[in-house]
Amino acid sequence: MIFRNVRHLRSLTAILVMLLSVASLAHAQSTREAIKSVLPRVVKIFGAGGIKNLESYGSGFLVSADGHIVTVWSHVLDADTVTVVLDDGRHYQAELVGAEPSLELAVLKIDAQDLPYFDLNQLSEAGPGTRVLAFSNVFEVAVGDEPVSVVHGVVAAIDDLSARSGRYDVTYSGPVYVVDAVTNNSGAAGGVLTTREGGLLGMIGRQLQNTQSNTWLNYAMPISELATTIREIQTGDFSRNHDDESTEIVDNFDAIDFGIVLVPDVVERTPAYVDAVLDGSPAKSEGLQPDDLIVFANNRLVHSCQAFEEELGRLQPADDLIVVVRRGGTLLTIPLTAPRAIPQR
Amino acid sequence: MASPSNILRWLFCATVSLGFSADAHAVDPLVIEAEQTRIETIQRISAPTVAIFDDEGTNGGSGVLIRPDGLAVTNFHVVSDLGPFMKCGLNDGNVYEAVIVGIDPTGDVALVQLLGRDDFPVAELGDSDTTRIGDWVYVVGNPFLLATDFTPTVTYGIVSGVHRYQYPSGTILEYTDCLQVDASINPGNSGGPLFNEQGQLIGINGRASFEKRGRVNIGAGYAISINQIKNFLDHLQSGRIVDHATLGATVRSQSDGAVVVDQILPQSEAYRRGLRQGDEIVSFAGRPIRSVNQFKNILGIYPDGWKRPLVYRRDGEKHEVMVRLRPLHSRSELMPKRAQLAPPPRQKPDDPEEDDSEHPPTPEIPSGHPMAHLFKQPRIPEEYADLYEARDGYANYRFNLVARDRIVDEISRLGEFPDGAWKITGTSASGESFELNLNDEVAALTLGAESFLQNVDEPFRDEPPGTGGLLAAMHHLRQMLIAPEDRFTEFYYLGSEPLEGDGETVEVLIATRGSMTSRWYFRQSDGAFIGYDTEIEPDADPCELRIMNWKTIEGRTFPAEIAVRHAGEDLGKWSIDGLTFREANR
């Protein structure tokens, strides 16, 4: 009897193993199927750039059958014609429907029908440890009717983005998926991060460096953070389209309002040297002197007269302004306060 | 009411499920099995993986053995600075001498031969055309020249793209129809193998996209497909500097997506077969053409001189032709210009400040150690000195001589042919009897009432007219049968090709004298001499002869029936009754 039991157990185990094998095979199949289904939903975008360190290509993904495409808000879109190429090689001129720079988000539209797309009503989410795939037009490897590239990885963490692009902090500071694979290369921005089953997790962002460590980040913005805005832009309900957002220049204060006269701004990056300090001004009383070089304003690096003016322009009445200047070999901190009212000009 | 056996069954199920849930930390047997399979695969694919070094062990890359006698594939750029002999380490811990065999500077492939054993472990060749996006792959090799005991480094990843085209990076080197993987390919991985999940060799890793993060992998590496290398394998074994091909025509994309002929060389066979400017390329080598890159992709995987089918469309009508591809480069272009082909100046791999790359980044060649650019006198080990022979146009002429003589042996088996005057008689394709007289001065044909004469000191003509030079071809056959080494100015082993573009694989000898060249075909499976093409001058449509039957005449084996073709047209079969010789008239 016991002998028989063992035999039964063996055959049972064998059956179980077989069943599991089938399941695993199905899983492998499903990853391949997933890749097959995602590839035609990701597009190649060609636009402005092409000069040193600014690529003229990027990625995007379809979110409607009639050609709405989500991508990152980047210089690539700053062109007279932005071309979208589908995985089968079809070319389209894209128009910009809207953008939300604070989410690094733009929505394009091409004139096409019956396209495969990601359904934004079916969002996937994933925790750390989830195995993922990333699809993008990295390094412009794919042109014409070639599908984009796919790499594999694991969600290493979900955390708030703290990053910079060159000298500038990034406006988006919400949560991101941090990935262990190198997903964010040139041209990858606007691509997608999916589960192994092809479920849309997020949009691959621009190439950014961590503010603390300077390391290059591999991340994607969760689609759940973007979906509402994408839908609003798509339906035309979005109030802040990119035109009135980006053309609105805040210019509340000038250097002269603090009693500071900068050297004439003659070249693109004129260093922010103080030319003169007005008598009786707060700057004078705080000890600012001609020939001081302004290097920081409110902890932001000031690399030109213009950058300093922009910084002042953003101040609200009575805001603190901490200026760091270089005088000779030393750095001095000069605390100032913005006037209580915006001057009429 | 449940029967006892049913109850027993339920009990079993309960026991089994309880067992599983109670033992929650037990590893799924499938995982164990997969792990075991992976371990075995890695053991299997590590053995034929080669670490290639120069004498100092400071410069090198990777390679992979494909034949037990030591034949191994690597990148051209790995061996281009190493000289004719190099050191190769295997994971058995041994270092072997190796000698260069042949190089393909355009495709970035080289063959080397490891020496000292005839039972080297070898990789199983796969079929890279069956590789799909998402397939698991192993990259095996010697990144950063880490393997001091020659145990290779293994990285694992997926296929990111197939049939990729990579532009030349400032040299003649281009990667066509290549595989893109996210498994790490780093400096030193060059020349090493890419295996699929089954452990079959599907590519040779050669390039990676490097950018602002320094010379370390950033998720995009490229491998030359093994199917391309298979096409070139016999060519590379010829010891030559082998060339890639061009159609003799450039193509461009139209706004409607059609790929059309932009310009075409009137000297090309494509032109002679009717292809003209503005014709739409429908398919090439059996693959549909939808983009210029795709056309370049397909063209790039074939050696110069192969015949490939081409389908083009003009005025709505499709035409299918077979065209012989032309060399992509002149001979001088292919001579190694070391400065040009040397790896690019190295940057510190871990310097995060580095941000001076151009966009799009040109994928660079990962190569070995920072000392790669230092040159040394070529070292030739005494015991293997006879395995290397320098000659212009060759990486190692010795290998050509060996291959050529192997086939010449096949010809000498036909018998000893005297150098006197030959008289061949028989029946022409039109049913008339003919007499062909061949000697060192003339080739003369009497066909019914007509006669044709070719003086061998004069430029060869299309005689009889419309055959492409049947007299010339018969003259070359005589030279070939008497003493090919003496009677041609150039006489070498070319490699192999599919006969007529779609037939059986044949090995090819090239014999040239003056402006006239013949290609001689020998069936690879059994070495049989099956025919040849003679062109009376470069870019002329050849006279094509295929030997249909043999007969024995006075102890010598001679063609009994020859099918003649010219410019795509069958000219019928000539049968031979007699062959007689007269002493040379000296």
pLDDT digits 0-9 by tens, B177-218: 999 999 999 989 999 999 999 999 999 998 888 777 777 788
Q: Report the CATH number that the domain containing residue B254 is assigned in CATH.
A: 2.30.42.10
Other beta carbons within 10 Å of B235: 25
Question: Does B117 reside within a domain?
Answer: no
Same domain for A49 and A128, yes or no, is: yes
pLDDT value, residue B204: 97
Whether residue B197 is found in the same domain as residue B279: no
Q: In this complex, do B220 and A152 lie within 8 Å of one another by their Cβ atoms?
A: no
Q: Are residues A24 and A109 in the same domain?
A: no
Q: State the pLDDT at residue B344.
A: 38
CB A153 within 8 A of CB A134: yes
Is residue A132, in this structure, part of any structural domain at all?
Answer: yes
Report the CATH number that the domain containing residue B141 is assigned in CATH: 2.40.10.10
By CA distance, what is A218's nearest residue in B?
A: B218
Determine contact: A320 vs chain B, CB below 8 A: no
Does B360 score more than 50 pLDDT? no
The per-residue pLDDT for B227 is 97
Q: pLDDT tens for residues B292-309? A: 888 999 999 999 999 999
In a domain, A342, yes or no: no
A 136-165 residues with CB below 8 A of B? 138-152
Residues A86 and A228 in one domain: yes
CATH number at residue A44: 2.40.10.120
pLDDT given for residue B390 in this prediction = 93
- B338 assigned to some structural domain: no
Residue to test with chain B: of A185, A195, A196, A210, most B Cβ within 10 A: A185
Residue of B nearest to A35 (CA): B134
Nearest CA in chain B to A143: B293
From A105's Cα to the closest Cα of chain B, the distance in A is 23
Q: Which residue of A has its CA nearest to B290?
A: A145
In a domain, B559, yes or no: yes
Pair (B427, B575) in one structural domain: yes
Residue B197, domain member (yes or no): yes
Cβ contact A283:A258 at 8 Å: yes
Do B284 and B211 lie in a common domain?
Answer: no
- Together in a domain, A242 and A195: yes
Averaged over B113-132, what is the pLDDT? 97
- Say which CATH number the domain at B551 has: 2.50.20
| Confidence at residue A244, expressed as pLDDT on a 0 to 100 scale | 43
Q: Are A194 and A98 in a shared domain?
A: yes
Residues A181 and A291 in one domain: no
The residue range of the domain holding B467 is 408-582
Query: Could you tell me if A23 and A84 lie in one domain?
Result: no
Task: Measure in Å the smallest separation between the Cα of A117 and chain B Cα atoms.
Answer: 20
pLDDT on residue B151? 92
Mean pLDDT by 10 residues, chain A (345 residues): 48 50 53 93 90 83 96 88 91 92 92 95 88 93 86 94 76 90 92 95 91 87 93 81 48 87 85 91 90 85 86 83 86 87 76
What is residue A94's predicted lDDT score, i.e. its pLDDT? 95
Residue A345 domain-assigned? Answer: no
Rounded CA gap, B160 and A134, in Å?
Answer: 10
Number of domains observed in the structure of chain A: 3
pLDDT digits (tens, 9 = 90+) for B452-488: 999 999 999 999 999 999 999 999 999 999 999 999 9
Q: Are residues B568 and B422 in the same domain?
A: yes
**Last residue in a domain, options A246, A263, A288:** A246
Q: Is the pLDDT of residue B535 over 50?
A: yes
Active site residue B77: yes
| A150 contacts on B by Cβ (under 8 Å) | 133-134, 158, 160-161, 182
Q: Establish if B522 belongs to a structural domain.
A: yes
Chain A contact for B23 (CB, 8 A cutoff): no
Higher pLDDT, B507 or A342: B507
Residue B5 has pLDDT above 70, yes or no: no
pLDDT on residue A199: 93
Same domain, B556 and B497: yes
CATH of the domain at A262: 2.30.42.10
CB interface of B with A, residues 162-191, below 8 Å: 163-164, 166, 180, 182
Q: Verify that B444 and B316 share a domain, yes or no.
A: no
Cis status, amide bond into B193, omega within 30 of 0: no
Is there a domain that residue A98 lies in? yes
CA distance B289 to B301: 15
What is the count of residue pairs from A and B with beta carbons less than 8 Å apart?
Answer: 114
The residue segments making up the domain with residue A147 are: 40-246
pLDDT tens-digit readout, B407-453: 999 999 999 999 999 999 999 999 999 999 999 999 999 998 999 99
Q: Quick one: A163 and A31 in the same domain?
A: no
Q: What does pTM read for this prediction? A: 0.79
d(C-alpha B309, C-alpha B286), whole Å: 7
Note the pLDDT of residue A14: 52
For residue B212, tell me if it sits in a domain.
yes
Across the interface, whether the CB atoms of A35 and B363 are under 8 A apart is answered no
Judgement on whether residues A211 and A278 belong to the same structural domain of the protein: no
Is there a single domain that holds both residue A93 and residue A17?
no
Q: Do A185 and B28 touch (CB under 8 A)?
A: no
Non-local (6+) Cβ contacts of B142 within 8 A are B51, B52, B60, B61, B62, B152, B153, B188, B189, B192
- Among the candidates A246, A268, A299, a domain finishes at A246
A7 belongs to a structural domain? yes
Q: How many domains does chain B have?
A: 3
* Last residue of one domain, picked from the residues A214, A246, A278: A246
Q: What is the mean pLDDT of residues B221-244?
A: 96
Asked whether residue B118 carries a pLDDT value surpassing 70, the answer given is yes
Whether B423 and B524 map to the same domain: the answer is: yes
| B380 occurs within a structural domain | no
| Residue B359 confidence (pLDDT) above 50 | no
pLDDT of residue B171: 63
Domain boundary among B226, B260, B275: B226
The answer to whether the beta carbons of residues A123 and A172 sit under 8 Å apart is no
Neighboring chain A residues of B130 at a CB cutoff of 8 Å: none
Look at residues B289, B307, B327 and tell me which one is the last residue of a structural domain.
Answer: B327
> Measured between CB atoms, which of B16, B166, B359 is closest to A53?
B359
Inter-chain touch B220–A141, beta carbons under 8 Å: yes
CA distances from A157 to A126, A160, A180, A207, B7 (A): 10, 10, 9, 18, 49
- Given the residues B54, B108, B419, B462, the one annotated as active site: B108
Query: Is B87 within the bounds of a domain?
Result: no
Q: Assign B556 to helix, strand or coil.
A: strand
Cβ contact B334:B341 at 8 Å:
no
Instruction: Report yes or no on A126 lying in a domain.
Output: yes
Distance from CA of A307 to the nearest CA of B (A): 23
Q: Please report residues of A whose CB lies closer than 8 A to that of B23.
A: none
Q: Are residues B497 and B564 in the same domain?
A: yes
Q: Could you tell me if residue A343 is inside a domain?
A: no
Tokens of B397: 């002429």
* Residue B346 clears pLDDT 80, i.e. is over it: no
Give me the mean pLDDT over the B318-337 stretch: 85
